[in-house]
Amino acid sequence: KFLAYAFPAYSEEEWQERLEEVRKDHPKARHHCYAWRLGLDGNQFRANDDGEPSGTAGRPILGQIDSFGLTNVVVVVVRYFGGTLLGTSGLIQAYRESTAAALAAGEIVERTVEEVFRLNFTYALMSPVMNAVKALELEMVHQDFGEQAALDIAVRQGERDRLLHELRARIAGKRVEELAPEDAVDGLQIEHLYTR
């Protein structure tokens, strides 16, 4: 008997917590095999066979995560041994199909990756900055109008270069074609803060 569980996970601590939850729920299971993939680019991953023959459990689970194009997910497949030996190909198929069923049954949530930038600017640029941010419908994350004006904005990662170029052009009072991407705008500095 194979039972598959899929959970969102954004850190190693989270996937470990999910694995422990499943182990507590199924203490008599023979195997708790799992795979996970984390990170915006999915470059952190692990697959574990938990005592099954090498490559028969963790890799098929990870393969299904990849075929669904997912990241920030952990899948744990619990196996209760029923006395029938499945062989290598049978195990691979069972773990693959269990994982596919769990992922297909779950709700896959797409999240937009955004980058947050700080605009440091002189007060003379206040009106052009605010007008440009409004025209481009950028989210204002934080404002600080102390000695120098600062505004944190969020932009979609996939549109970052285009939006920042257009933002700089609007603030400078130019058309996008008139401002090279490397051209500075007097009184304006843009710095990357973080990705969310």
The tens digit of pLDDT for each residue in 163-180 reads 999 999 999 999 999 999
Confidence of residue 117 (pLDDT cuts 50, 70, 90): very high
pTM of the model: 0.64
- What does the alpha-carbon distance between residue 139 and residue 15 come to, in Å, rounded to a whole number? 31
What mean pLDDT is predicted for residues 114-128?
96
Confidence of residue 113 (pLDDT cuts 50, 70, 90): confident
What does the pLDDT read at residue 92?
96
What does the pLDDT read at residue 158?
86
pLDDT single digits (tens) 135-147: 999 999 999 999 8
pLDDT single digits (tens) 34-60: 999 998 888 999 999 999 999 999 999
What does the pLDDT read at residue 88?
93
CA dihedral of 173, 178, 183, 188, whole degrees rounded to 10: 10
Cβ burial of 160 (10 Å; 0-12, 13-18, 19+) is middle
What does the pLDDT read at residue 100?
98
Helices assigned H by DSSP within 53-138: 58-67, 87-105, 126-135
Find the distance separating the first CA and the last CA of the chain, reported in whole Å.
39
What does the pLDDT read at residue 122?
96
What the chain holds in terms of domains, given with CATH numbers, is 2-105 (3.30.230.30), 114-195 (3.30.70.120)
The rounded mean pLDDT for the chain is: 94
Residues 155, 160, 163: CA angle, nearest 5 degrees: 85
- What does the alpha-carbon distance between residue 129 and residue 152 come to, in Å, rounded to a whole number? 11
Cβ burial of 13 (10 Å; 0-12, 13-18, 19+) is exposed
